[in-house]
Amino acid sequence: MQILETKEVKKYYPTPSGIVRALDGVSLSVTEGTFGAIVGSSGSGKTTLLHMLGGLDEPTDGQIWVRGTALKGMSGEEKIVFRRRNIGFVFQNYNLVSTLSVRENIMLPLLLDGMKVDRKFLKEITESLKLTEKLDHMPHMLSGGQQQRVAIARALITKPAVILADEPTGNLDSVTGMEVIGLLKTSAERYHQTILLVTHNEEIAQMAERIIRIEDGKVTGDSDEK
């Protein structure tokens, strides 16, 4: 089953010196359960593509489908609800709420959606991410690696079909970074999720089962192509 699909997606930005083609006709499909990496040089369009797939930005042209649902035509509110229920995000800067405890940060997406917290699942993911003893801590009391684990737990708590991670190891040392990628990979297998991560680290990219290369807004390589 194709869980993510794009068709001729373009994102153009007008500038005083001309049009910047951040994405220039990207078409691809991602099968359910894939653990994939999007790689490319700085400014290649990889983060723009991830934001498009997550409905965080609007394409200039083209179509995007998530779980068979077209993002085009959704209102802003519809897109927010759709994201909360189908997509988990992990960002380089963690984006934790400083005034909330670890437990509250993890539960936040459910609370925003008025959904009941599955306490058994919360216990399962916090144990697997080694956060059980940190649940009452505030974010500033945690190391970078621990904060990223909280961000992963928050992404998992709604049991999303898709997790999109933008340079999730960018602020971590190499050992902690590899550990975080291992946790994401384990989560994908355990909870039958699709994960796409943006990275400039070739070593991390090689841990993925599929590597999509982007340069100048175009897909220049795809290990899934036969």
Q: Is the pTM of this model over 0.75?
A: yes
**202, 145, 114, 83 alpha-carbon torsion, rounded to 10°:** -10
* Summary mean pLDDT of the chain: 91
pLDDT of residue 219: 95
pLDDT of residue 194: 93
59 within 8 A of 52, measured Cβ to Cβ: yes
pLDDT of residue 226: 47
Residue with tokens 């009391």: 141
pLDDT of residue 225: 62
Delimit the domains of the chain by residue range. Answer: 2-222
d(CA 122, CA 15): 46
CATH class of 2-222: alpha beta
